[in-house]
Amino acid sequence: IMYGGEAEAQSESFGGFGPAIIIAMFGILAVLLLEFGSFSSAAVVAFVIPFGIMGGLIALFIGKESLSYTSIIGFIALIGIEIKNSILLVEFANQERERGTPLREAIEKAGEVRFLPVLLTSMTAIGGMIPLVMERSPLYSPLAMVIIGGLITSTLLARIVTPPLYLLLAPGEKKKAPRRRFFGGKGEPDPVVTPAE
């Protein structure tokens, strides 16, 4: 059976997306591991990704849009926004624990202090996508729908799921001199050399 027209175009467009998405996911996990130095923290941050994908698919279904080239780009952009929002929560909790705050209190404080910035960031992105949805453009509307739907579900569900997941997978207690990280944060102090007498 030979497929032509739109089916053929979609097949050609999606042909290289599979390997590219897999490489991108491994790249994201590698960056998170370098940033946090802990697989558990990286896992907590990355756990929000399925929530966004679910919300994006629901938005496409409600909007009666198919999974197109631009909607795939929307999913990629959505994952980046999700990861950034989740980093705000986990990084704040880790910083509180480094200051000696108990585990449960640290994650509760992170949720209270960081949820508003995360919510405002998501609302700003959603507001910017609404005109593209209302335009009903076959090129841009699917992308905007994916981002809007994904941000709604990931923002709300991450606020509910991230705290207990962090409690379950919390990294070990931080030492007074934490190891150097690749992207910001405090590194180990330089060794002090005492001259021999």
For 37-90, what is each residue's pLDDT tens digit? 878 888 888 888 888 999 999 999 998 888 888 888 889 889 888 888 888 888
Lowest model confidence (mean pLDDT) among 4-8, 120-124, 141-145, 179-183:
179-183
Domains of the chain: 23-169 (1.20.1640.10)
Q: Render pLDDT for 121-135 as a digit per residue (tens, 0 to 9).
A: 889 989 999 998 888
pLDDT band, residue 146 (cuts 50/70/90): very high
Indicate whether 116 pLDDT > 60: yes
Q: Determine the Cα–Cα distance for residues 137 and 86; give it in Å rounded to an integer.
A: 31
Contact criterion met (CB below 8 Å) for 166 and 107:
yes
DSSP string, the chain: ----THHHHHHHHHTTHHHHHHHHHHHHHHHHHHHHS-HHHHHHHHTTHHHHHHHHHHHHHHTT----HHHHHHHHHHHHHHHHHHHHHHHHHHHHHHTT--HHHHHHHHHHHHHHHHHHHHHHHHHHHHHHHHHT-TTTHHHHHHHHHHHHHHHHHHHHHHHHHHHHHPPPPPPSSPPP-SSSS--PPPPPPPPP-
Phi/psi at 170 (5° precision): -60, 135
pLDDT at residue 150, rounded to an integer: 92
pLDDT at residue 43, rounded to an integer: 86
